[in-house]
Amino acid sequence: MQILSLVLFAALASADPIVYLIRHGEKPSNGSDGLSAQGLERAQCLKNVFGPNSGYDIGYIMAETPKSDGKRQRPYDTVEPLAEELGLTVDTSCSKTDYSCVADVVDNYSGSGNILICWEHKGLGEIVEELGDDDAPTYPDDDYNWIWTDPSPYTNVTAWTNEDCPGLDV
Ligand SMILES: *[C@@H]1O[C@H](CO)[C@@H](O)[C@H](O)[C@H]1NC(C)=O
Ligand SMILES: *[C@@H]1O[C@H](CO)[C@@H](O)[C@H](O)[C@H]1NC(C)=O
Ligand SMILES: *[C@@H]1O[C@H](CO)[C@@H](O)[C@H](O)[C@H]1NC(C)=O
């Protein structure tokens, strides 16, 4: 019995979270801060994509630290409605270019479920690289719809999945 418990414990302890990475929603064409109407729609859509009835089992959500002047707010605004839906608080403790901070949070995570990271698109490859992929992909400048799947041991993005948000995708 004790041996069985140990085996089970080892199996659970080694179930590292899958990391999913997304870009923030669409930006206004006039260059102002925050999300455009489309970006706000995408944020609502993500409640379905990653919500409680999805297969993603999101247990933790990260977005880059927003600035008090309204800059760097898009990633947070993109996942905040989803976080509310899941009863989670978005972790904004890592700033835009502090990719090792993100990797530390992932490596330290011992909660249940998987981790969703929302960032500026140029940072997504950097985060993947920091996690251990020495040939990280490049997120296309004009796209907003991809979910990257980066399973443990985080050495390769194994899938690009379309968020499939009605009326928004490329
Ligand atoms: C720019 O676009 C955003 C979103 O579409 C809008 O909320 C904002 O008022 C616009 N700003 C200016 C200066 O036109
Ligand atoms: C991760 O864990 C290490 C060792 O316990 C700790 O020193 C570090 O502060 C943690 N980092 C984060 C981002 O939680
Ligand atoms: C990474 O994943 C992609 C997509 O599944 C696959 O085509 C590729 O061979 C993988 N690369 C490595 C180094 O495992």
Nearest alpha carbon, ligand 1 atom 9: 32
Q: Which ligand places an atom closest to the C-alpha of 154?
A: 3
- The percent of residues in the chain predicted with pLDDT above 90, rounded, is 88
- Whole-angstrom Cα distance, residue 104 to residue 160? 24
- Please give the structure tokens belonging to residue 19: 């990391």
Decide whether any atom of ligand 1 lies within 6 Å of the 36 Cβ. yes
Is residue 158 lining ligand 3, measured as CB closer than 6 Å?
A: yes
Q: How far is CA 136 from the centre of its chain?
A: 16
Mutate to test the pocket of ligand 3, among 158, 160, 161 (most ligand atoms within 8 A of CB): 158
Quick: pLDDT tens for 54-72. Answer: 999 999 999 999 999 989 9
Angle at 138 between CA 159 and CA 154, to 5 degrees: 50
Domains and CATH numbers, the chain: 18-162 (3.40.50.1240)
pLDDT at position 15: 79
Provide the whole-model pTM.
0.89
Upstream peptide bond of 75 is cis (omega within 30 degrees of 0): no
